[in-house]
Amino acid sequence: MNNHGMKQLKTLKLFITLTVIFLTLYSCSKDQQYMSNAEIIGYDSKMCPCCGGIEITIDNVQNPNGNAYFLIGNLPSGFIGDNPKFPIAVKIDWEVDAAHCFGNYINITRIARR
């Protein structure tokens, strides 16, 4: 291999190394952002067809039905514990469960305490 070929090979190796380093650093985000901040405010113990569950308020999001809160059917096991102290500040990824009680329920896809 001549001198010109060696330079091209070194340049290619450098390019590949820098690309791998860049992609590794870019893809390793330590703190991915959540959609919303929220507060778990308590249990809904009413007995009606669209009642029951855990009450949550979401910052800057109004329930389309005029309620002061949304309902969550369930959370990860042990998330709030046996004797929780409300309110619990959380950050969440979520979506409205349009098929369940006219949008009063949401599905939490990711949750963490703040």
Dump pLDDT digits (tens) for 99-110. 878 878 999 999
Residue 7 lies in a domain: no
Q: What confidence score (pLDDT) does residue 88 get?
A: 96
The residue assigned the tokens 């070929």 is 5
Give the CATH number of the domain where residue 109 resides: 2.40.50
Q: Quickly list DSSP for 7-53.
A: HHHHHHHHHHHHHHHHHHHHH--SSPPPSEEEEEEEEE---STT--E
Which residue segment(s) compose the domain that 56 sits in? 36-113
Residue 24 lies in a domain: no
Mean pLDDT rounded to a whole number for the chain? 84
Q: What confidence score (pLDDT) does residue 65 get?
A: 83
Amino acid at 44: D
Residue 81 lies in a domain: yes
SS3 sequence of 83-104: CCCCCEEEEEEEEECCCCHHHC
Residue 107 neighbours by CB distance under 10 Å = 13
- The token pair that represents 57 in the structure block: 């308020």
pTM for this predicted structure: 0.70
Domain tally, the chain: 1
Residue 40 lies in a domain: yes
Residue 26 lies in a domain: no
Residue 91 lies in a domain: yes
Residue 28 lies in a domain: no
Q: Rounded distance, CA 69 to CA 81, Å?
A: 21
Yes or no: say if 60 and 38 are a contact pair by the CB < 8 Å rule. Answer: no
Q: What confidence score (pLDDT) does residue 20 get?
A: 73
Residue 80 lies in a domain: yes
Yes or no: say if 35 and 93 are a contact pair by the CB < 8 Å rule. Answer: yes
